[in-house]
Amino acid sequence: MERTGAGGINSNECENVSRKREMSEEFEANTVDSLVDLPFATIDIIDDCGITDVPHINLERSKENEWNNKDKIKKRKKKQKDDQPNYFLSIPITNKEITKGIKILQNAIIQQDQRLAKAMNSDGSFHVTLLVMQLLNEDEINIGIDALLELKPFVEEILQGKTLTLPFEGVDTFGDQVGFVKLAEGDHINPLLEIADAAKRTFQEKGILAGESRTFKPHLTFMKLSKAPWLRKKGVKKIDPKFYEKFISHRFGEEMVHRIDLCSMLKKKQSNGYYHCESSIVIGDKNGGEPEDAELVRLSKRLVENAVLKAVQQYLEETQNKNKPGDGSSVKTEEADRNGTDSDNNRK
């Protein structure tokens, strides 16, 4: 009885294969040593007359896994882009002593490497970020403005009528990629953290995608390598600590918190270099923190635009209601009444 082997080959066929092998033993002896060095030398043979493992199956699996990984990376990047913040709450830095000190620091770094000039934050944009968020349209921006206004009483409750003063001292970086002036330690830290937490809670309760997973660390950014991506191609991959070593313990000054702004990361900046501001709340002494004239004009313009928009919407709603089925009868009745009155007057 003939035995069927793996792959459906019977014993007679197997014997024919064996005879052929005997005829080529000399050839195989000469080439076997060189074959063991080739990539497919590790493929196991199941049976002399059977089927060998097929490597292209593993290659197909490998390609499939590669595509799956690429797809996951693409989805992850899309999610990150979808969740990318485009607005933030800002405490503007207005103390000229601080801004002057930062300019001296920036110039000192640029003198050591001219290429880093493009990585510096511009004049007028210095600030401390309280909260980042995503506002995708005008409706969400208006919700953000409402949330900012609702934040004010919480801030006043936290400060209890006291002035919040932020002293800045020393320089550090985030991963040698972002350079910032440090906020000195002191009693001001806790109320600032409480304000940041209240802001996050207030905006999230409004349904706004706000806040970050990492712990809030208040700081004053003065440069970012990401502002000039081409620097990496030029060999500038980090901010060298020696560039700012003379400023490690430098005292830049104190900022009295007088305003919190809702700012856009993407809209065109103001003429003074500060970010486009949707709305503001004044903290503490109003005399020291009133918005500039240009900002007051802009805020007034926005209020007028909102009032006009609401008026137009109300007019459209009333027009639509008048044009609804059934309303025509009342109009016709009024016209008939007018016609009847006119005919009576003519008879008189």
In this prediction the pTM is 0.62
* Angstrom distance (rounded) from CA 51 to CA 9: 10
* Angstrom distance (rounded) from CA 1 to CA 143: 86
Type of residue numbered 330: S
The pLDDT value given to residue 164: 96
Type of residue numbered 135: L
Q: Cβ contacts of residue 286 below 8 Å, gap of 6+?
A: none
pLDDT digits (tens, 9 = 90+) for 233-248: 989 999 999 999 999 9
- Are the C-beta atoms of 225 and 119 separated by less than 8 Å? yes
* C-alpha separations of 40 from 7, 24, 36, 52, 57 in Å: 21, 21, 8, 11, 14
Element (H, E) at 328: helix 327-347
* Angstrom distance (rounded) from CA 220 to CA 170: 11
Closest among 324, 336, 98 to 220, alpha carbons compared: 98
Rounded to 10°, the helix 138-159/189-205 angle is 140
Scanning the structure block, which residue is given the tokens 């206004």? 149
Closest among 160, 163, 157, 141 to 198, alpha carbons compared: 157
The pLDDT value given to residue 132: 95
* Angstrom distance (rounded) from CA 73 to CA 81: 12
* Angstrom distance (rounded) from CA 2 to CA 227: 78
- Are the C-beta atoms of 277 and 298 separated by less than 8 Å? yes
Type of residue numbered 110: I
The pLDDT value given to residue 340: 52
pLDDT digits (tens, 9 = 90+) for 160-195: 999 999 999 999 999 999 999 999 999 999 999 999
- Are the C-beta atoms of 171 and 106 separated by less than 8 Å? no
- Are the C-beta atoms of 257 and 152 separated by less than 8 Å? no
Closest among 127, 274, 260, 294 to 302, alpha carbons compared: 294
Q: Which two tokens stand for residue 344?
A: 């009576």
Q: Which residues of the chain have pLDDT under 50?
A: 1-9, 17, 25-55, 286-290, 327, 329-333, 345-348
- Are the C-beta atoms of 266 and 86 separated by less than 8 Å? yes
- C-alpha 339, offset from chain centre: 67
The pLDDT value given to residue 215: 83
The pLDDT value given to residue 284: 76
Scanning the structure block, which residue is given the tokens 């809702």? 262
